[in-house]
């Protein structure tokens, strides 16, 4: 029992710090997922995020809550992490006021760029859902992320995985008891043992038909095959997002 518990904890740590993806994933090109961005500290990839306006990026609080804006940059329009594309500095970090760094409840943050991004090839915003948006269970969505292998070596190429959403009740019963599953969280992943389980790195955007449905907040790693990954549900936070960014006109 304590062995398997510590294995779980280690797996959580592994996916939190590395974010791994294997089976069912394919190499992706940024031109197809131009909203996908890399959030960097000290010029190296730290987690993923999504571009929502020329000035704002959404990512998970768990990635950015410790450090503030110092030495934080966002890299756009690159398929390869930590190189190429366009790098812009972050002016400010807004962490959701209810974010809990232990439970990862309310795991969302906004990054405001120092200067506006010029949209172009490989750098375009993603549409936010309305606050009434609800994605049905068992609906395919694309998650993009930068994978790192079990040795911790960054696989620098962007990856995409098609992953189905999971019924909230079914998901709750498959998660370990210590993990909260709030209404503002969404599960996605295959529930059978040999399918994909590790879907991207923290902040990896989950997109269904050009709408940003979630950002990856929590996963149990590739060695625990029957747990879906937990995303922050964007529709639960659009009002909060608009309070900071102003209403977004598409």
The pair of three-digit structure tokens given for residue 18, joined into one six-digit string: 């590395």
- 174 or 245: CB nearest ligand NAG: 174
CB of residue 105 to ligand NAG, shortest distance in Å: 19
CB of residue 205 to ligand NAG, shortest distance in Å: 11
Degrees to nearest 5, angle at CA 215 with 209 and 220: 120
- 13 or 140: CB nearest ligand NAG: 140
- 52 or 166: CB nearest ligand NAG: 166
CB of residue 3 to ligand NAG, shortest distance in Å: 31
CB 234 within 8 A of CB 57: no
- 66 or 244: CB nearest ligand NAG: 66
CB of residue 1 to ligand NAG, shortest distance in Å: 28
> How far from 242 is each of 69, 71, 115, 211, 230, CA to CA, in Å?
20, 26, 19, 16, 23
Closest Cα to residue 208, out of 139, 133, 116, 125?
139
Tally Cβ neighbours within 10 Å of residue 199.
31
How far is the C-alpha of 88 from the C-alpha of 122, rounded, in Å?
15
- 24 or 167: CB nearest ligand NAG: 167
Q: Taking every pair of C-alpha atoms in the chain, what is the biggest distance, in angstroms?
A: 53
How far is the C-alpha of 132 from the C-alpha of 112, rounded, in Å?
26
Residue 98's H or E segment, with its range, is none
CB of residue 66 to ligand NAG, shortest distance in Å: 7
> Which residues lie near ligand NAG (CB under 6 A)?
32, 41-42, 67, 70-71, 140-142, 167-170, 207-209
């Amino acid at each position: 029992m304590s062995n398997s518990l510590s294995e779980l904890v280690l797996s959580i740590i592994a996916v939190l710090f590395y974010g791994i993806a294997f089976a069912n994933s394919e190499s992706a090109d940024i031109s197809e997922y131009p909203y996908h961005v890399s959030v960097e500290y000290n010029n190296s990839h730290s987690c993923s995020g999504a571009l929502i306006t020329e000035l704002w990026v959404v990512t998970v609080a768990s990635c950015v809550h410790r450090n503030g804006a110092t030495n934080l940059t966002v890299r756009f329009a690159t398929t390869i992490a930590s190189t190429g594309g366009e790098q812009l500095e972050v002016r400010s970090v807004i962490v959701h006021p209810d974010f809990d760094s232990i439970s990862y409840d309310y795991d969302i943050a906004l990054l405001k760029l120092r200067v506006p991004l010029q949209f172009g090839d490989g750098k375009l915003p993603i549409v936010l859902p309305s606050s009434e948006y609800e994605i049905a269970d068992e609906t395919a969505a694309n998650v993009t992320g930068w994978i790192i292998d079990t040795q911790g070596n960054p696989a620098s190429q962007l990856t995409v995985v098609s992953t189905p959403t999971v019924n909230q009740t079914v998901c709750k019963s498959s998660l370990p008891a210590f993990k909260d599953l709030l209404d503002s969280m969404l599960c996605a992943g295959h529930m059978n043992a040999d399918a994909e389980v590790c879907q991207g790195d923290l902040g990896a955007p989950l997109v269904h038909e050009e709408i940003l449905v979630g950002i990856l907040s929590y996963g149990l790693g590739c060695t625990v095959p029957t747990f879906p990954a937990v995303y922050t549900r964007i529709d639960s936070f659009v009002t909060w997002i608009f309070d900071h960014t102003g209403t977004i006109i598409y």
